[in-house]
Each structure stands twice: as structure tokens, then as C-alpha cells.
Amino acid sequence: MKYVFLSLIFTFLVLSCKPEKKETIENSSPVEKEAPETVEPAQESFVPQSTDEQTANNLKVFLKNYTGDDYPTLQDIDKRFQFYNKDLNDDGNDEIFVRLMGPYFCGSGGCTFLLLDKYAEIITKFTVTRAPIFIEPSKVNGWSLLLVKDSGVFKELVFENGTYPSNPSVLPKAPYDAPSGHAEIMFDENFAKSKTFDF
């Protein structure tokens, strides 16, 4: 009996002292970790009439000269612009609409827009004008009819005596309530987004 008891104790001690087999990192099979998915930022799409880098660079020089002595006092937010190329009179040369941005150029009634010829001469300086601007396919005096919305109604801008009307707010309401289905739209964040540049 004494031997049985000692044998049990010995077995118990041997079993309790036997080191547990632990799986180490080195011995374990490598766990494949999935690389986190890299999400590419969505490439913004802009209308092609607003992305030409050479035009943008030329406009940067023009706008610095246009703002003149005020340029050094402008805030960064005031040094932003968009443009849109469009041949308005079918002469084979694009005119350039320039949308100026920031509080220096914008107020409660709208912003300043410029229409330039191919030589960067100002055809029209639009004041208190809101985007978007619609270019109708119909021509008056050889130039495209423009439409803008002012105080909730559309106003027609008709080219006359070498320019378009500069202040839509003083014009009468257009004889219709919406642009035609064939109008080209400019400076619309949803349908015709233009690229923004700094000057």
C-alpha cells in the first residue's frame, strides 16, 4: 500500500511538472494578414472647357494685372477663379468666361464674371451675377443668347453694341420660365463643374 501511495504521488509530480506545450509565434504557421484596402480618392471630373492649363496660366497673369494694386491685399479666398471656353459668335475663336470668387468679388446679389476675347480684352464685366449661366443655341446679333437667374426669375442677356448687359438685376424678366433643353450650362456644381484655380 505504501508503494502504491508513493507511486501515485510520483506520477502526480511528474505530470504536474511536465511543461505545457505552448505554441510560439516562431512555431505557429504564419497567419496571413489582409492588407487594408487602400481607397483611392475619387477623381473629380470637370467639364473640359474649364481645365486647359495654358489658359489657366494666362488667366493668372491677366487677373494679377486686373486686380492691380489691390492684389497684395486680397485674401487667398479672393484669389480663386474658374473659367469656361466657348465660341459665342461662330468666328472660330473661343471667348472665355471667368468666374471670380470670394468676398472681394461677391456680395449678396452675386459675383463678378468677366467675358474675354482671345486677346484677353474684356468684352463684358458682369456684376451681381449668379452661376449657373446658360448659353442658348439661338443667336441674336450674331452672338449666343445668355440666360441667368436673378431674384428667382430668368433674365436674357442679348449681345448689342459690342457687349452683353453687365447688370442682370436691371433687366426685365425673360419671356419664359426656364432655359431651353438645348442650352449649354456653365459653372454648375452638379451638371457642369468647372475646375478652380488660384492666381
pLDDT tens digits, 43-95: 679 999 999 999 999 999 999 999 999 999 999 999 999 999 999 999 999 99
pTM of the predicted protein model? 0.78
Evaluate whether residue 16 is within a structural domain: no
* Residue from 155, 110, 135, 141 nearest 47 by CA: 135
Evaluate whether residue 128 is within a structural domain: yes
Evaluate whether residue 129 is within a structural domain: yes
Provide the grid cell at 23.
505554441
Q: What is the pLDDT of residue 42?
A: 56
The tally of domains found in the chain comes to 1
Q: What is the pLDDT of residue 34?
A: 52
Domain range for 65 is 48-198
Evaluate whether residue 18 is within a structural domain: no
* Residue from 170, 70, 150 nearest 110 by CA: 150
Evaluate whether residue 32 is within a structural domain: no
Evaluate whether residue 119 is within a structural domain: yes
What long-range pairs does 137-145 form, CB within 8 A, spacing at least 24? Answer: 137/180, 137/182, 137/183, 137/184, 138/180, 139/89, 139/90, 142/89, 142/90, 143/88, 143/89, 144/86, 144/88, 144/89
Evaluate whether residue 6 is within a structural domain: no
Evaluate whether residue 68 is within a structural domain: yes
Q: Mapping DSSP to helix (H, G, I), strand (E, B) and coil, where does residue 141 land?
A: coil
